[in-house]
Amino acid sequence: MRRQEVDGSLPQDEPRSLSTTVDPAEMQTPQHGVGPLFHRRYRIHIRDSSMSPRQLMDRVREDPDRVAPSEFASFQKVHGRAGGMERGDEYVVRMPGPWDGPVRVAELTPTSFRLVTLEGHLEAGQIEFRALSDGELVVFEIESWARSGDRLSDLLYDRLRMSKEIQLHMWTSTLERIAKLSGVRRTGAIAIETRKVPAEAFDG
């Protein structure tokens, strides 16, 4: 892994406004969160993939649990039809301990989908999964913009760094499984970029 953490700022590191109508009353946005905002991007490069970015994303969207590392998390759909993903579908990301995280699909494109956190999630924000081309390579990225959902989550994530490391291993393991799904192993290191916006930026 290649890790980098730098200082972030607003509005540069806020999640963009959603292009679809999502009831703000049902979302946990960064403004509802506690502590710093973490803008993180996890990236993997795949060489000689048997799939195009669109085909790879189709496989992931059929069943996100297919690429979830079972030792860290599983995706369980609680609203929406089986065998696909549509805007408005809801999942619960089940993790060891009291970490279950409800999310809703807010946006879809042929090569990406974006989830928003709902009430009860340990984070407050958004996360996007995307596949794209880089010359002969397929690149898969997971990008998130989130603050902790409550003070306990902030303690475990930012201060003790326990859930932060669990999350890092969860998403890097997911990227490894996505590379395997494409028929090959990754090329190069997994890149993790973190921009940290202090909690004081949200005061007032």
Summarize pLDDT for 100-127 with one digit per residue, the tens: 789 999 999 999 999 999 988 888 999 9
Structural domain boundaries, residue 150:
26-202
Whether 8 maps to a domain, the answer reads no
Is 13 part of any domain? no
| 9, part of any domain | no
The vertex-63 CA angle with 53 and 27, nearest 5°, equals 95
Q: What 3-state DSSP class applies to 75?
A: strand
The number of folded domains in the chain is: 1
The pTM assigned to this predicted structure is 0.91
> Which pLDDT belongs to residue 22?
72
State pLDDT tens for residues 122-144: 889 999 999 999 988 999 999 99
Tokens encoding 164: 């932060």
Asked, for residue 21, whether it belongs to a domain, the answer is no
Q: Give per-residue pLDDT as tens, 144-177.
A: 999 988 888 877 777 666 777 888 888 999 999 9
In a domain, 4, yes or no: no
Helix residue ranges per DSSP H, the chain = 53-62, 151-154, 162-181
**Residue 45 included in any domain:** yes
**In a domain? residue 12:** no
CATH number at residue 122: 3.30.530.20
Specify if 19 maps to a domain.
no
Which pLDDT band holds residue 36 (cuts at 50, 70, 90)?
very high
Alpha-carbon separation of residue 58 from 53, 86, 100, 109, 142 (angstroms): 9, 12, 25, 10, 16
Per DSSP, what are the bridge partners of residue 61? Answer: none
